[in-house]
A and B are shown apart, each in its own frame.
Chain A
Amino acid sequence: MKALSKKRRHPLAAVALLLFGLLITGSLYTAAGNIQEAKAAETSTASQSDIEEGGKLFVANCATCHGKNAEGTNDGPSLIGVGAAAVDFQVGTGRMPMQMQGPQAQVKPVQFDDEQISQLAAYVASLGAGPAIPDEQYLDTSEGDAAHGGTVFRVNCAMCHNAAAAGGALTRGKFAPTLTGVEEKHIYEAMATGPQNMPVFNDSNITPTEKRDVITFLKTIEANGSAGGAALGSLGPVAEGLFIWTAGLGIVIAFTIWLTSRPS
């Protein structure tokens, strides 16, 4: 004990302590990451035949940009480790296969049926562990807390998607789309995988239960409709100002012309 207290004033003690601290943090982080990956890998219940079918679909429809083994090319990123959730989101919302190159992939009619999408997802998931398609329990909005979800949404999502989830602009033609009418599953997957320009909100950032709360919030405000009349696109004061200058003043001017229509 005496030896230890003597050495604590050693010039290298601080460095040793720092290294020790870093080592512990790093190991814990890796362990946590491994656990999550393990969990993700566990939940994929795809059969070998699904993976094979998915592989065929992949080569026929995706390999042009993403490479024959999903290793990525100049036209598209590598898909190794993006997980089944990413495929389910991108293909399931019609963003992939991409119609054309642009600032970001646009939504278009979905090109594959559910079975084909799950086969594609299974194939990509088999290439490397990544976020899996979420469990039903995390999509059940009857279990979620809309008020807490709203708080999480305002802090994490509203700066791009707008407080009423009406969408908003990003730089250079990119944008955050409206979240009205998006399926619960796809909202969850977007948070987990961060499609296009969206950041990833992993499970330690926003926990699966909180993700469910966010989905509950979005579905609640969607179902509530807009109190007080037509929402004018939920775009805030710009839409309101435009409305009063066009419709409001327009009606007023029509009446003033009527009132003074008898020339003096």
Chain B
Amino acid sequence: MAANTTEYTAATKTGRIADFVDSRVGGSAMVKEFGRKIFPDHWSFMFGEVALYTFVLLLLSGTFLTFFFDPSMAHVTYNGSYVPLKGVGMSTAMASTLDISFDVRGGLFMRQVHHWSALLFVASVSVHMLRVFFTGAFRRPRELNWIVGGVLLILGLAAGFTGYSLPDDLLSGNGLRIIDGVMKALPIAGTYLSMFFFGGEFPGEHVIPRLYSLHIMIVPAMILLMVAIHLFMVVVHKHTQYPGPGRTNNNVVGFPVGPVYAAKAGGFFFIVFGIIALISGLFQINPVWNYGPYDPSPVSAGTQPDWYIGFVDGALRLMPGVLGNFSFEWVIPFPWGDNTLILNVLLPALVPAGALFAVMFAWPWIERWVTKDNREHHLLDRPRNAPFRTAVGVAGVVFYSVMWAAASSDLIATHFHVSLNDVTYWLRTLFFLGPVVAFFLTRRICLSLQRKDREIVLHGREAGIIEMSPEGGFSEKHEQVDVYRRYVLTNFNDRQYIPAEPDAAGHISRKEKRRAKISKFFFEDRVAPVTPSELEAAHAAHGHHEVEGDKKSESLES
């Protein structure tokens, strides 16, 4: 610093306080650095924000609930103001939930805020992950952040499930009973695990306090940690962007955080808050007073878990106990006695969910292996331009949705006046066929859309103007797309079939052959992007078709 600079003194009192703080913590440098970070603008980039904001809402409303909730399983007789349960024996947890709902001012609203936020939290995390998957945002260098996101989804499910069980009402107790059943179905360790978890026989008197510790401390702390890592990596990697003119793999086109994004994101938080508050004020959720206290004997019709656990419940509903004469309950004779392997619980409870998450976590590496594409990607794919990935994704979504639908098979039956058995048979069929059909159908649709894009680039849009030639022939004018649009339509990764390649020693390994097979399956059918020479040739042939309003593109091209 030059010697003639005098010490800066702020003119106002606020300024002096700000300067005092800044000279000690160096906030302005952070603001300067972070405030100039650029984020691209697209509506589909905002679901992660929704997830973050609903999580903040969960923390706020959850803290309120802890002030009044007592997670004890001690038996009490309810004596609050909800008449249809007066004098009924229940656990303290259930009684305090009823007190929050009926006797604490604003308690029911806060419960509903908490529950609706939880539903929206997992929904927005899921949609965010779908966006990331279908646009290819998980590719290098963001593979690890994809994993962190997947872990966040699982933690979201864990937070949801532990919270869902806390009121100790009939509905959640039935859910816990299913968890107990799945645990006991695990070979060898199952019974011990269940006894350990419930502190004795189900339901015992320990499980609610244990779930409470997990729900208010461990799981949220882990979510916070993962969110921090997630956001840190977003800052390090910078945000991805959709292809467009001026957007390359080496830049980010958008608005700076300060002031545009700080204002937008801050405002968006309050918008999400407002939406949740509106929904919570107008729509009832989880009316535990209807379900009544948990008691192992009754099971209500229409017993389902919250939506995000639904797919596991659905898989359990789809699984037959016996197939003709073949039983899925295997009795294995050991020297010390018979042990039962309960495959009709074990398979549906663990296999579909396990397969779904395994493919999800492994996908960035699977794709890198098949495509041999290890480059950094900061430009996103339009889903149609990666037909293989989009098809795999849609197959996964269909697989999930079939199980999801199966969780509400009883409601499908009553509301569409069909037989419950038929619903189950259809969904069983779709469970196997649905993903396959979805894969091929989606790929065909993607390829067709790509062909349409080619068509538009080469021959222009149909202008809707019919011309009659002097000879009496009719033809439609085609309007050339402008250069911005053409950039979007032509600028994408052209993935091709890569045949098996020998390694350094000249061998083609079996793994490499397998890779080549998958590569052929994925990329045999492809639509190549329009090349400049093709474009020129097409324009030369169609030059006379151009219509007015195309001057902009002409001037931009030159």
Contact = CB atoms under 8 A, between A and B. Distances in A.
Contacts of A148: 87
Given A170-B420, A229-B282, A232-B284, A237 B108 contact: no
B287 A259 contact: no
Nearest to B252: A264
Nearest to A103: B419
Interface stretch (A47-55, A60-68, A125-133, A171-179): A171-179
Contacts of B275: 248, 251-252, 255
A166 B408 CA distance: 15
Contacts of B417: 173
A154 B297 CA distance: 9
A146 interface: yes
B108 A238 contact: no
A158 B284 contact: no
Contacts of B295: 154-155
Nearest to A178: B414
Contact of A150 (B88, B297, B310): B88
B413 interface: yes
Interface in A157-205: 158-164, 166-173, 175-176
B363 interface: no
Nearest to A160: B301
Contacts of A166: 302
Contact of B307 (A168, A176, A241, A251): A241
A156 to B, nearest CB: 8
A147 B310 contact: no
Contacts of A220: 83-84
Nearest to B304: A237
A234 B417 CA distance: 18
A231 B85 contact: no
B282, B284, B299, B407: residue with the most chain A Cβ atoms closer than 10 Å:
B284
Contacts of B286: 237, 240
A260 B301 contact: no
Interface string A78-118: 00000000000000000000000001000000000000000
Given A158-B300, A171-B421, A227-B108, A237 B83 contact: no
Given A147-B84, A253-B43, A264-B40, A159 B290 contact: no
B157 interface: no
Contact of A226 (B45, B284, B307): B284
Given A232-B283, A255-B275, A244 B307 contact: yes
B307 A236 contact: no
Given A168-B410, A237-B306, A245-B123, A252 B50 contact: yes
B307 A169 contact: no
9 contacts: A163-B171, A163-B301, A168-B414, A226-B287, A227-B289, A237-B304, A244-B279, A248-B275, A260-B43
Interface of A: 103, 146-151, 154-155, 158-164, 166-173, 175-176, 217, 220-221, 224, 226-232, 234-238, 240-245, 247-249, 251-253, 255-257, 259-260, 262-264
4 A-B pairs with the lowest CB-CB distances in the bound complex, closest first: A168-B301, A241-B307, A169-B410, A163-B300
